[in-house]
């Protein structure tokens, strides 16, 4: 009887070793550069992130800071977090982002219940009369912009450059459409090109911030290991680049 009890205790300890494994924690830092027309690139922002994965759940914390003030980029400083589940890709359950832009404090909170948005909190509330309309069905199966960035860090999540991301930032609704026909490989780098399709929530009579709209997007990966290499987005004369800090 004592031997049986002893074996049971040893077995329980072995099981606990596997089931109580430490969560995976990854810190990554990125630099945002801006280029106006023929002028050289200028570092304008830093993005510091921490990803915590525990089984099929994850938490993603990020901090955005403006480092250099330039006329064509609005100063933005903010902190946010995402809690979600990993089901083929990173799927948010609760997104929060508190930031300051143009000396105005803003807050976005989105809660998801499976494929729908169950709660939306915005401070301040936008004037919907000044924005293009968003229909209710346009919000089904959407993710937040930071979840989009987290997902494209993994080549598998863009499905070999053929994936559509349905994005809602609390105000604007748009699609990022990657098409395999626009995939190119050069100098051992994979270029996944996408178009941003503006669907609703955009200003009717004013120009949008450079981060809110892009003529094209390119996500670049190393062809050998499929690791993230860089991000490029263009809006008129302005091109933004995101690279991992060394």
The 10s digit of each residue's pLDDT in 25-75 is 999 999 999 999 888 899 999 999 999 999 999 999 999 999 988 777 888
CB 87 within 8 A of CB 93: no
Q: What is the Cα–Cα distance from 126 to 122, expressed in whole angstroms?
A: 8
pLDDT tens digits, one per residue of 136-154 = 999 999 999 999 999 999 9
Q: What is the pLDDT of residue 246?
A: 78
Q: What is each CA distance from 192 to 34, 166, 226, 230, in whole angstroms? A: 20, 17, 12, 11
Q: Which helix (H) or strand (E) holds 9?
A: helix 2-19
Question: Is the predicted pLDDT of residue 1 greater than 60, yes or no?
Answer: no
Q: What is the pLDDT of residue 211?
A: 57
pLDDT, mean of residues 200-227: 84
Q: What is the Cα–Cα distance from 26 to 28, expressed in whole angstroms?
A: 7
Q: What is the pLDDT of residue 214?
A: 85
Q: Which of 83, 81, 85 is nearest to 62 (CA)?
A: 81
Q: What is the Cα–Cα distance from 197 to 136, expressed in whole angstroms?
A: 17
Residue 232 in tokens: 């490029």
Q: What is the pLDDT of residue 71?
A: 75
Q: Which of 97, 44, 49 is nearest to 241 (CA)?
A: 44
Q: What is the mean pLDDT of the chain?
A: 90
- The SS3 of residue 19 is helix
pLDDT, mean of residues 88-93: 95
Question: Is the predicted pLDDT of residue 22 greater than 90, yes or no?
Answer: no
């Amino acid at each position: 009887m004592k031997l049986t009890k002893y074996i049971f205790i040893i077995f329980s300890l072995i099981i606990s070793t596997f089931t109580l494994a430490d969560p995976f924690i990854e810190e990554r830092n990125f630099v945002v550069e801006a280029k106006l027309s023929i002028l050289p690139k200028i570092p304008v922002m830093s993005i510091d992130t921490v990803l915590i994965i525990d089984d099929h759940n994850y938490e993603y914390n990020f901090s955005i800071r403006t480092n250099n003030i330039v006329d064509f980029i609005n100063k933005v400083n903010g902190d946010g977090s995402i809690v979600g589940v990993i089901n083929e890709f990173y799927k948010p359950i609760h997104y929060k982002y508190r930031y300051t832009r143009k000396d105005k404090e803003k807050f976005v909170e989105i809660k998801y219940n499976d494929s729908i948005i169950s709660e939306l909190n915005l401070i301040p509330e936008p004037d919907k009369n000044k924005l293009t309309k968003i229909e209710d069905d346009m919000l089904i199966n959407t993710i937040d912009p930071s979840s989009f960035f987290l997902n494209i860090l993994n080549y598998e999540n863009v499905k070999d450059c053929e994936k559509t991301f349905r994005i809602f930032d609390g105000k604007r609704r748009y699609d990022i459409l990657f098409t395999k026909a626009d995939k190119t490989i050069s100098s051992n780098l994979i270029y996944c090109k996408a178009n941003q399709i503006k669907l609703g929530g955009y200003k009717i009579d004013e120009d949008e911030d450079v981060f809110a709209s892009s003529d094209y997007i390119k996500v670049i990966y190393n062809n050998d290991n499929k690791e993230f290499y860089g991000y490029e987005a263009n809006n008129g004369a302005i091109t933004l680049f995101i690279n991992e800090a060394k």
